[in-house]
Amino acid sequence: MTTWRKRTGKKKEQFSGPDEFQSLTQKALLYVQRNIKKFYIGLAVLAVVVVAGAVWFLAEKSSQEKAVATVATALKYYDLNSAAPGGKPMTSVERLEKAGELFGQAASGSGKQADISLYYQANTDFELGNMDKAIQEYDALKGRTQDPLLTSLANQRLASAYLEKGNKNEAISVLIGDKKTGLSLFADEDYLRLAQILAQSGNTSEAVGQLEGLIKKFPDSIWVSDAKMELSKLTGKPVGTPQAMVGTPPPGSIKVVTAPAPTASKTSPAPAPGAPKQAPAPQGKK
């Protein structure tokens, strides 16, 4: 009896050839066997890297938590309107000095928390009258932070520190630079402060220009009413109406209208209820 086999279209070597995946696996095992020492060294290095990464992560987390706690304590000393931590009596100077010490510790780190700490450290030195140190710290903050709010706040306080030292030119330079960045969150206030400093220095025309710039570029600013009053003082002319007086008409603008006096009715008024009826008046002959 003849047996028929179905043709598959495959050649003989395709059935007998080794499986590709199996071949690669065998090659990998063979490579490991030949380089077993290197293999174990690689595993050891990898383990060290993983452990070091875990240790660094835990240390970083612990450091951040410690920094947050330090800043929280510093803020309690810094807030002179609240009781000092621990209930121990302290003078304002002692509290600010302690706050500055703690802010300095937290500012030595990195990240936004450290930047905020540096800002408050500078504020503390400002309040203590250490203007040179405060100026250095505000400048350092501007050089390292990427936060536009902290940068704007640092510029405002930096200008104030220069004014405290009597250095108006440096204060003007700081405010102009803050305004020109286009990123300042206090650009409208920059105009007003510049105008005030320039006016005090005798530069009336430049001060007027700053005030007019504020009114034109920031019509909805809370400083517009102050700008208009300052502008009126410098020019001697009324400029608009102060914000506090909006809705109140100027004196003499209200005309008092007097209601006309009531005229007598052509018909007799109706008699009161219960009153006797009066006889009609006699009429003459036609």
In tens, the pLDDT along 134-144 reads 999 999 999 99
> Looking at the structure, do residues 147 and 206 belong to the same domain, yes or no?
no
Reported in sequence order, the residue ranges of 61-212 that DSSP labels E, i.e. its strands, are none
Is there a domain that residue 3 lies in? no
Give percent of the chain with pLDDT exceeding 90: 50
> Looking at the structure, do residues 61 and 143 belong to the same domain, yes or no?
yes
> What share of residues in the chain are helix, strand, coil (percent, to 5)?
65, 0, 35
Decide: helix, strand or coil at residue 104. helix
Q: Taking the CA of residue 19 as centre, how many other CA atoms within 13 Å lie in the half-sphere pointing to its CB? A: 4
Is there a domain that residue 127 lies in? yes
* Amino acid type, 119: Y
Reading the block at residue 192, the tokens are 């007003």
Reading the block at residue 6, the tokens are 């179905």
> Looking at the structure, do residues 128 and 213 belong to the same domain, yes or no?
no
Q: Which of 206, 223, 242 is the last residue of a domain?
A: 242
> Looking at the structure, do residues 68 and 153 belong to the same domain, yes or no?
yes
How confident is residue 9, by pLDDT bands cut at 50, 70 and 90? low
> Looking at the structure, do residues 137 and 228 belong to the same domain, yes or no?
no
> Looking at the structure, do residues 61 and 147 belong to the same domain, yes or no?
yes
Residue with the bigger pLDDT between 49 and 174: it is 174
Q: How far is residue 161's CA from residue 151's CA, in Å, rounded to a whole number?
A: 15
Q: Are 95 and 80 in contact (CB under 8 A)?
A: yes
Instruction: Tell me phi and psi for residue 124, to 5 degrees.
Output: -65, -45
Total number of domains constituting the chain: 2
Q: What is the pLDDT of residue 137?
A: 97
Is there a domain that residue 213 lies in? yes
Q: Which of 136, 165, 194 is the last residue of a domain?
A: 165
Distances in Å between the Cα of 35 and the Cα atoms of 29, 39, 41 are 10, 6, 10
Q: Report pLDDT digits (tens) over 28-37.
A: 667 666 666 6
How many other CB atoms are there within 10 angstroms of residue 221's CB atom?
17
Residue 53: pLDDT above 60? no
Is there a domain that residue 208 lies in? yes
Is there a domain that residue 18 lies in? no
Cβ-in-10-Å burial (0-12, 13-18, 19+) of 8 comes to exposed
> Looking at the structure, do residues 193 and 85 belong to the same domain, yes or no?
no
Identify the domain containing residue 209 by its residue range: 186-242
> Looking at the structure, do residues 140 and 228 belong to the same domain, yes or no?
no
Contact residues for 186 (Cβ-Cβ < 8 A; gap 6+):
152, 153, 155, 156, 178
Q: Are 224 and 243 in contact (CB under 8 A)?
A: yes
Hey, what's the torsion of the CAs at 49, 55, 59, 62, to 10 degrees? Answer: 140
Residue 14: pLDDT above 60? no
> Looking at the structure, do residues 232 and 122 belong to the same domain, yes or no?
no
Is there a domain that residue 31 lies in? no
Pick from 130, 126, 132, 129: which is nearest to 153 by CA? Answer: 126
> Looking at the structure, do residues 130 and 200 belong to the same domain, yes or no?
no
Is there a domain that residue 129 lies in? yes
Which CATH number goes with the domain that contains 87?
A: 1.25.40
> Looking at the structure, do residues 91 and 155 belong to the same domain, yes or no?
yes
How confident is residue 183, by pLDDT bands cut at 50, 70 and 90? confident
Q: Comparing 38-42, 77-81, 205-209, which segment has the lowest mean pLDDT?
A: 38-42
Pick from 154, 228, 165: which is nearest to 191 by CA? Answer: 228
Is there a domain that residue 259 lies in? no
Q: Comparing 83-87, 173-177, 197-201, which segment has the lowest mean pLDDT?
A: 83-87
Instruction: Say how far residue 8 (Cα) sits from the centre of its chain.
Output: 76
> Looking at the structure, do residues 214 and 141 belong to the same domain, yes or no?
no
Supply the DSSP symbol for 169.
Answer: H
Q: How far is residue 215's CA from residue 188's CA, in Å, rounded to a whole number?
A: 9
Distances in Å between the Cα of 267 and the Cα atoms of 107, 263, 264, 279, 284 are 94, 12, 9, 16, 20
Q: How far is residue 85's CA from residue 77's CA, in Å, rounded to a whole number?
A: 7
